[in-house]
Amino acid sequence: MNVAETPFEFVTVSYLTRIGNQSAGTLAELLTGLEHCSDASIFHHTFQTLGSHHFLTDGFSNDFAQWALSDTNRNDLAEQLAALDIRDYVSIAALRSDLCRVVGEYCAAYPNFASQSALERFYFCESVELTAPLGRNARTLDEFREGIEHLSHSGFYFHFISSRLRLQLRTNDFSHWLADGLGLKSLAESVNHIDIYTNTLDSARAKLLRLIDRERRKA
Amino acid sequence: MSETLALSRIPLDQYAELLGASEIEELRALAKPLRGRSIEMINSTAVGGGVAEILNRLVPLAEELEINIKWDVMMGGEDFFEVTKSFHNALHGAPYHASPKDFEIFLAYSERNRATLPLDAEFVVIHDPQPAGLIETRQPGANHWVWRCHIDLSHPNRTVWDFLEKFVSRYDCALFSSPEFSRQLPIPQYLFYPAIDPLSEKNCDLDPQFVSQVLGRYHIDPQRTILTQISRFDRLKDPVGVIRAYRIVKRYFDCQLVLAGGSASDDPEGAIVLKEVLREADSDPDIKVLELPAWAPLEVNALQRAATVVIQKSLREGFGLTVSEALWKKKPVVASAVGGIPVQIIHKHTGLLAHSVEGTAYQIRFLLSHPEIAAKLGEHGHQHVKENFLITQKLKRYLTLFLTLARGS
């Protein structure tokens, strides 16, 4: 059995939501907000909200899309915003740029809708992140499986979803370690292909464990 | 002098059975750096009201995590509570004619309590406006002070808010239940949701036989559709609007309506609203207007569990925890998009939002026509509450806040 030189260290994460000073009552104001809000705010309304609403697997993608749908009744814009896949981004700047492009193009194409009042305002908030070590680590695939099985939702989210930004790579902590630590590149790739939009954190974890079990049977 | 409080103790392990051992392990991991450090929670009442209910559960859980936490209640006379009740209503936007005497009373009690309360914990959390003036005792850099505001400050009376803001601005941060309740302040403001306790009598699992007994007691037919709104008889909860929505639904579906709230006997305004409700009900045998005893958590629990659809048609709302209570029981909910309700009801995902009597009726009809969608909304709603609005999540948020404050210093 492969033994990694550098162990995988399991941590968990907790977030505070800081209320910002910006809000939007129209799509045009949303665009202004997107252009000027902090990176922590873009993170909060996309990456973090996906984690805290992981159980919604039929159309909920990020807070901007949900607001466009439920408060401005712009289904087409909501679809476009929901289609932005955070796995495609390794920086908040790139994600912000695409959010602004989608909303900007919509406002330009439909200026009447851009200035129409929403049912409820959108409040820009920020995530304040705090991590805590769980005191568990893994050097082998068996230990790794055991650790994943016992992770909380927050811990799993931290390693599997928000890690993409930290790594600045189109991958996650688990795949990164499987490839670099254990040399299991094919397993790492399969893990990275698990769809985080159509799976809950629980079902994503179950798939990941099944992939690991398949690998263990090969050994 | 603070009161000695009898707290409800439910071990964390019991929550592990419900939420999973890993969630509790995570709480313990977060709490580790706070072991032995001191926290003082201060509010103005030991019993009654949502704040006391939450602290009653939160403090023992924090103690189990080996945090040196205590809960003190500030003392006040009738004159103080009259003033703070007026302040409370004024901060909610009610008309109020400020008198200098009111502010003097507020300041005098703040001073008296500063002399008797310890206020020396590493983290001091002050709940709501009544004890806000205790901040004056703070020594620079000595400890961290947090103001937790449980009320809606979106349209406050200017005079009262200007008076309070001078105190609030001196805290390290302020906590609000919804972004729209917050103010422009020179200190950080964080979102802190209220929470329900899944193991409390109001939310724990019930024997179906008990639910049947409660329905029998109130002559509610369990075989027919039941629409339910649980809330006190208050115009802001729009019980008359609920009856009007029910009448529209009734044209299409055979159904009963349950409007259950606390007794209105000691609340003059509640008694007037109750009369209006009874007049609107017009002796319809399918409308059950129930005046529950002041503390009837098991009955409320049973009525929520028996409902086909739960309604919360408020015109204005603080957070509206009855929505979380219903969602926790996997009930489909139709509610107004006011106050903290849209945080709990993500439209078309965890429930349905409405903006009028007609809209409320339409959404109820939609759910009754599509029970499979109703069930899915209920299931998602349960998950949403589990992730965001349980007492354990609230504890986690506090731990995160204290660690963040400590790190900042």
State the Cα–Cα distance between residues B168 and B149, nearest whole angstrom: 10
Chain B hits for A135, CB-CB cut-off 8 Å, are 29
What is the pLDDT, as a whole number, of residue B140? 86
- Whether residue A150 and residue B21 make contact (CB cut-off 8 A), yes or no, is yes
Give domain limits for chain A. Answer: 14-126, 136-218
Q: Among A12, A52, A119, select the one facing B26 at the smallest CB separation.
A: A12
Across B339-373, b (16+ Cβ under 10 Å) vs e yields bbbbbbbbbbbbbbbbeebebbbbbbbebbeeeee
Q: What is the mean pLDDT of residues B355-379?
A: 97
What is the pLDDT, as a whole number, of residue B263? 66
Nearest CA in chain A to B178: A19
Q: What is the mean pLDDT of residues B217-239?
A: 95
A115: phi then psi, degrees, rounded to nearest 5: -105, 5
Inter-chain Cβ pairs, chain A and chain B, closer than 8 A: 98
- Under DSSP, the state recorded for B118 is -
Domain hosting residue B99, numbered range: 12-195+391-408
State the Cα–Cα distance between residues A69 and A59, nearest whole angstrom: 11
- Whether residue A121 and residue B180 make contact (CB cut-off 8 A), yes or no, is yes
Q: Among A60, A119, A150, select the one facing B355 at the smallest CB separation.
A: A119
Q: How high is the mean pLDDT of chain B?
A: 93
* Residue B170 reports pLDDT greater than 80: yes
B104 and B71, same structural domain? yes
Say if B274 falls within a structural domain.
Answer: yes
Is residue B309 classed as helix, strand or coil in its secondary structure?
strand
Chain B hits for A151, CB-CB cut-off 8 Å, are 22
What's the number of domains chain B is made of? 2
Q: What is the tally of helices (H) and strands (E) in chain A?
A: 13, 2
Candidates B299, B285, B135, B127; CA nearest to B230 is B299
Say if B4 falls within a structural domain.
Answer: no
pLDDT band at B6 (very low <50, low <70, confident <90, very high): low
Chain A hits for B337, CB-CB cut-off 8 Å, are 119-120
B145 and B221, same structural domain? no
State the Cα–Cα distance between residues B33 and A132, nearest whole angstrom: 9
CA–chain centroid gap for B277, Å, is 24
Please tell me the pTM assigned to this model. 0.90
CA-based angle A147:A205:A81, to the nearest 5? 130
What is the pLDDT, as a whole number, of residue A136? 93
B172 and B223, same structural domain? no
- Under DSSP, the state recorded for A115 is T
What is the pLDDT, as a whole number, of residue B267? 64
Residue A103 Cα distances to A36, A47, B70, B301, B350, angstroms: 14, 18, 49, 44, 26
- Whether residue B397 and residue A19 make contact (CB cut-off 8 A), yes or no, is no
Cβ(B257)–Cβ(B243) under 8 Å?
yes
CATH number of the domain enclosing B367: 3.40.50.2000
- Under DSSP, the state recorded for B294 is S
- Whether residue A55 and residue B384 make contact (CB cut-off 8 A), yes or no, is yes
B330 and B377, same structural domain? yes
Chain A residues near any Cβ of chain B (below 8 Å): 12, 14-19, 21, 23, 52-56, 59-60, 66, 69-70, 119-121, 123, 125, 128, 130, 132-135, 150-155
Say if B163 falls within a structural domain.
Answer: yes
B187 and B299, same structural domain? no
Q: What is the mean pLDDT of residues B171-188?
A: 94
Q: Among A14, A56, A60, select the one facing B30 at the smallest CB separation.
A: A14
- Whether residue B400 and residue A14 make contact (CB cut-off 8 A), yes or no, is yes
Chain B residues near any Cβ of chain A (below 8 Å): 20-23, 25-26, 29-30, 32-33, 176, 179-180, 182, 184, 188-191, 337, 342, 346-350, 353, 355, 380, 383-384, 387-388, 396-397, 399-401, 403-404, 407
Residue where the block lists tokens 């450090």:
B37
Sign of CA dihedral B345, A102, A31, B188: positive
Report pLDDT digits (tens) over B104-144: 999 999 999 999 999 999 999 999 999 999 999 998 889 99
State the Cα–Cα distance between residues B79 and B103, nearest whole angstrom: 11
Residue where the block lists tokens 């957070």:
B319
ipTM of the complex: 0.90
- Whether residue A152 and residue B20 make contact (CB cut-off 8 A), yes or no, is yes
CA distance A126 to chain B (A): 9
- Whether residue A18 and residue B188 make contact (CB cut-off 8 A), yes or no, is yes
CA distance A58 to chain B (A): 8
Q: Among A17, A21, A134, select the one facing B29 at the smallest CB separation.
A: A134
Is residue A36 classed as helix, strand or coil in its secondary structure?
helix
Say if B37 falls within a structural domain.
Answer: yes
End-to-end CA distance of chain A: 7
Q: In what order do the strands lie in the sheet with B123-127?
A: A122-138, A8-24, B189-191, B173-176, B144-148, B123-127, B38-43, B68-73
Question: What single-letter amino acid sits at B282?
Answer: D
B226 and B86, same structural domain? no
Q: What is the mean pLDDT of residues B193-201?
A: 93
Helix (H) / strand (E) element for B78: namely: helix B78-91
Q: Among A16, A133, A154, select the one facing B401 at the smallest CB separation.
A: A16
Report pLDDT digits (tens) over B245-298: 999 999 999 999 999 987 656 567 788 999 999 999 999 999 999 998 867 899
Instruction: Name the token pair of A169.
Output: 């790579």
B154 and B134, same structural domain? yes
What is the pLDDT, as a whole number, of residue B167? 97
What is the pLDDT, as a whole number, of residue B4? 47
State the Cα–Cα distance between residues B375 and B231, nearest whole angstrom: 23
CA–chain centroid gap for A207, Å, is 18
B228 and B358, same structural domain? yes
B380 and B236, same structural domain? yes
Say if B329 falls within a structural domain.
Answer: yes
List alpha helices for A37-172, DSSP H.
39-43, 49-52, 63-70, 75-82, 92-109, 111-114, 141-149, 153-157, 163-167
- Whether residue A18 and residue B180 make contact (CB cut-off 8 A), yes or no, is no
State the Cα–Cα distance between residues B23 and B17, nearest whole angstrom: 10
B144: phi then psi, degrees, rounded to nearest 5: -100, 135
B225: phi then psi, degrees, rounded to nearest 5: -60, 135
Q: Which residues, given as ranges, of chain A have pLDDT below 50? A: none
pLDDT band at B1 (very low <50, low <70, confident <90, very high): very low
CA-based angle B113:B117:B121, to the nearest 5? 135
Say if B272 falls within a structural domain.
Answer: yes
- Under DSSP, the state recorded for B2 is P
* Residue B3 reports pLDDT greater than 60: no
